[in-house]
Amino acid sequence: MSAPTFGMTFTRPETEPVPVLGADFSKALLIETSADATAEIYPIDTPVRISTSDPIAVAGLGTGLLADAVKGINDQLTTGADVIVVRVTEGGTVAETVASIVAVLEDVAAIPPAVGATPRLVWAGRTAAQLVDAEEAPIANPVLTALPAACEKLLAIAVVDLDDTSTAITLAQREEINSPRVLPVGIAAKVLVDDVAVTRPMGPRVLGLFMREDFGRGGLPFDPIANRVVNGLVGLSRDLPFSLLDGSTEGQQLLEGNVSIVTRGERGVDAAVADGGFVFIGTDGAGTGELWRQIHQVRGADYLTVKIMAITRSFLGRRISGDLVEAWLNSLKFMLRDHKAANDILGYDVQFIADQNSPEQIRLGRLKVDLAVEPAPAFRLAQHDVRRYRPAVEGLVADIVARLSSAA
């Protein structure tokens, strides 16, 4: 259509700030066995996306560990969750089952295009298994070894169940992991199955806590889950002493080793974490650095990264100009401004630094932006200095003197 001689035209500039919606960070990936699952619904080694509120899909999982994982998630929620399930074969040995789970993790990048969704919460079974090599020497659990790389590919975090036989064994297995994307849990759940208390992994219940917090914030994954009630438990796999005041208790020792726990509330005990029920305690992943130690900060940073990718993608391929760079940076600033206003982050800064964008680089079509974002930390330790307050006594003396003077 040509421009009119007498009339009007309309244009829509492509160099305006771009708004973006955040990705859903509450989708979960579950990998385990289920011998009696419906094979037509859940083929072996095939990702299947379901809603945990779909009774047919849930019933099709049978009675194995995958079914328990879905139930553990549902126990924490008042609505269904979006879950991707991969059923693997139960091997003749634990090592064979572990190998099947590892194979899924190594090919995890194929899951999002297969199901049309990217899981940001991962739980893989058999992480508590202690394995040995051909000479009967202990080896690191291959699932624990494979999870960090899989999570990096997905921009996800994983909750892993460690061997909870004793605190010493749990902490020793924790040393097999070095990733801020992995949240180790050092206690298992006791749940009722056909009126009998059985031990089941705690990991899926913790995944459900992340979902519950996300749903309460409109899907935003910026909140920690420490000091939250875990539903659906009738007990814990072992007695785990814990005190808010005593760092020598087993629970505190696990926390010091970056292993999260679930502890039982105790009525009438001042140093208990609650008056009753079962409470999750833990903030830290299994990384060795300090900057990204808290797992909710890793999730929040991933969420922002995906939004930054969506913004920048909309500008790629356009002709570089002052208008384009300004619109690109303003899009990033406005997005972070909104998260600052919502208290998702403490602050941010976005800069185009001339020294980092030389004419030679710009001629090649390359631009660099400097982004600084400060996430909000979880409140972990309260230190109270309690002292006597002398001014109160001085006030009392002044009051006595005033009264006696008026009486005279």
341-351 tens-digit pLDDT = 999 999 999 99
Are the CB atoms for 320 and 369 separated by under 8 Å? no
Residue 47 has pLDDT above 90, yes or no: yes
pLDDT > 90: percent of the chain: 90
DSSP class of residue 44 equals: B
Q: Give residue limits of the domains in the chain.
A: 28-297, 315-375
pTM of the model: 0.93
Query: Do residues 339 and 304 touch, judged by C-beta distance below 8 A?
Result: yes
pLDDT band at 408 (very low <50, low <70, confident <90, very high): low
The CATH T-level fold of domain 28-297 is Rossmann fold (3.40.50)
pLDDT level of residue 309 (50, 70, 90 thresholds) = very high
Maximum Cα–Cα distance for the chain, whole Å?
103
Pairing of strands 121-124, 28-33: parallel
pLDDT digits (tens, 9 = 90+) for 222-281: 999 999 999 999 999 999 999 999 999 999 999 999 999 999 999 999 898 999 999 999
**Torsion sign, CA atoms 167, 241, 191, 123:** negative
Structure tokens at 143: 């699932």
Asked if 151 and 236 count as a contact pair (C-beta separation under 8 A), the reply is no
What's the CA gap between 408 and 397, in Å, rounded? 17
What pLDDT digit, counting tens, does each position of 353-392 carry? 999 999 999 999 999 999 999 999 999 999 999 999 999 9
Per-residue pLDDT at 8 exceeds 80: no
Mean pLDDT, residues 52-65 taken together = 96
